[in-house]
Amino acid sequence: MLYAIGLGPGDKKLLTLKAVEIIKKVDEVIVPGKMAYELVKDIREPRVVEFPMGDASNVVKALAEELAFKSCDVAFCCLGDPMLYSTFHHLYNELVKINPRIEVEIVPGITSVSCALAKTKVFVEKALLVTTPEFHKEEVVAVMKSKKPKEIAEKLKSQGFSDFWFVERMFMEDERITKNLPENADYFSLVVAKK
């Protein structure tokens, strides 16, 4: 099993309990540089794989080839959250090309966006745009409090979105994640859309 572990924004005290638990139990821990190393070293001595800024494709391919069929449990730990602008994105794409059946569990980390909002005491009530400096058009949208999932999907289709997931009551006993969007849902629901 390969675990992608989000280490959060750089404060050891903001590591999740699940992240620490997995780092302790796996056979090997890999980090992509010194900052991640500093966050993990007191829990477990990790192996550092340097990802050069710019084009890291050779490093990504070599690591993917190494991990694609590994029989032991490995944690790849990255700063922030593995799903948001992370090193893991490129590694994952290479891994599934080599081994489409690879088992991967993604453990989210506290994002820099959440921390920046907390430090500045800026609350989000309606919408939040997270982008890179190029201000690309959004490629993924997560709509919280999606009480009318099908209606939301129809609106997003007109903006070029074509792939949809419905996530309801996450981490609760009756959690549901499906591509079949219902007409109605409760407060604890999200629609995730991708172009």
Q: Which residues are registered as beta bridge partners of 129?
A: none
Domain 2-113 maps to which CATH number in 3.40.1010.10, 3.20.20.370, 3.40.50.1010, 3.30.70.600? Answer: 3.40.1010.10
User: CA-to-CA distance for 113 and 102, rounded, in angstroms?
Assistant: 30
How far is Cα of residue 184 from the mean position of the Cα atoms in its chain? Answer: 27
Instruction: Judge contact between 25 and 126, C-beta under 8 A.
Output: no
Low-confidence ranges of the chain (pLDDT < 50): none
Residues 143-161 have pLDDT tens digits of 888 899 999 999 999 989 9
pTM over 0.95: no
Residue 148's pLDDT is 94
Domain extent listing, the chain? 2-113, 140-194
Instruction: Judge contact between 189 and 167, C-beta under 8 A.
Output: yes
Tell me the CA distances in angstroms from 52 to 49, 83, 87, 183, 186, one per residue in order: 10, 20, 11, 47, 45
Residue 7's pLDDT is 97
Residues 87-100 have pLDDT tens digits of 899 999 999 999 99
User: CA-to-CA distance for 133 and 139, rounded, in angstroms?
Assistant: 15
Give the SS3 label for residue 120: helix
Residue 170's pLDDT is 84
How far is Cα of residue 85 from the mean position of the Cα atoms in its chain? Answer: 8
Give the SS3 label for residue 170: coil
Tell me the CA distances in angstroms from 44 to 14, 26, 50, 66, 149, one per residue in order: 17, 10, 18, 21, 43
Residue 66's pLDDT is 96
User: CA-to-CA distance for 7 and 179, rounded, in angstroms?
Assistant: 29
